[in-house]
Amino acid sequence: MLIDEPKALYAHLSELRNRLMMVSFCFVACFLGCYTFSQKIQSILIQPLQPILNQGRSLVYTSLPEAFFSEINVALFASFLLTFPFLLMQIWLFLKPGLYVVERQIVRGVMICIPILFYLGVVFAQTAVLPRAFEFFVSFEHGEIPLYFLPKISDYVSFSQRLIFVFGLGFELPVLLFSLVNFGVLNLKSLKSRWRMVVFLICALSAVITPPDALSMLALAVPMIALYGITILVIQCIQYRTKQNTEPYHA
């Protein structure tokens, strides 16, 4: 038995290496494709700023390599978004053989929900949050000082990507709660009784990870609080159905 353990460990490490290599190759392939269309992807990322740019403004770059590195940055970010589901699939395939049947069902559901909720957060940030955030920031310009908005492409790309990524992570709250309940770390009663503390923590976390304005903080905190409530209802319904299905066997 002792002789087989190193072989089993080597087999697991070898499989892990192969899967990481496949993810790396997928990321590189996506990057090459995204860099080819980096300007089109950049135009999609700039879309929330378009109403402001239509007022006679334009994005600028103040150093020679800035525009080039901005395209690289956009291509890397788009490659991550495209590779993310493939990464999760490889993690699932690596973990699957070592899980029990019940654990497989839980982890499989989690792996399906993670990219769906993440992309919902990305879309919400791109379509609902960024346009209003830019309108808020541009409202501070006025001609008395004078103070005018002149956006740099690198600053805009970094700000947008950070906000999009933060909202993608924020929308993963249901997955986190569902996993903790199913693995016995939390229970439904504690989720219900500690909702005030959870709301406070969500607001505090939103204030830390979003840009320093109330609009961005509320735009992240309100959906997360709503997702928290929805998650409690879903968990309650699942537990009720499970109880109803098991009662006939105990009767």
User: How do residues 11-28 score in pLDDT, each as one tens digit?
Assistant: 888 999 999 999 999 999
pLDDT tens-place string over residues 71-101: 999 999 999 999 999 999 999 999 998 888 8
Q: Domain check: are 166 and 77 in the same one?
A: yes
Closest by alpha carbon to 34, among 80, 97, 95, 85? 80
Q: Domain check: are 166 and 177 in the same one?
A: no
Q: Domain check: are 202 and 153 in the same one?
A: no
Residues 6+ apart with CB under 8 A from 21: none
Q: Domain check: are 187 and 91 in the same one?
A: no
Q: Domain check: are 99 and 76 in the same one?
A: yes
Q: Domain check: are 27 and 135 in the same one?
A: yes
Is residue 124 within 8 Å of residue 163, measured between CB atoms? no
Given 126, 155, 171, which residue is the final one in a domain? 171
What's the domain range around 229? 173-251
Q: Domain check: are 24 and 70 in the same one?
A: yes
Strand partners of residue 142: 147
Give CA–CA dist 136/210, Å, rounded: 14
Domain tally, the chain:
2
Q: Domain check: are 142 and 242 in the same one?
A: no
Q: Domain check: are 93 and 32 in the same one?
A: yes
Q: Domain check: are 43 and 163 in the same one?
A: yes
Q: How far is CA 210 from CA 35, 55, 61, 206, 217, in A?
A: 28, 27, 24, 6, 6
Question: For position 3, what pLDDT does the model report?
Answer: 46
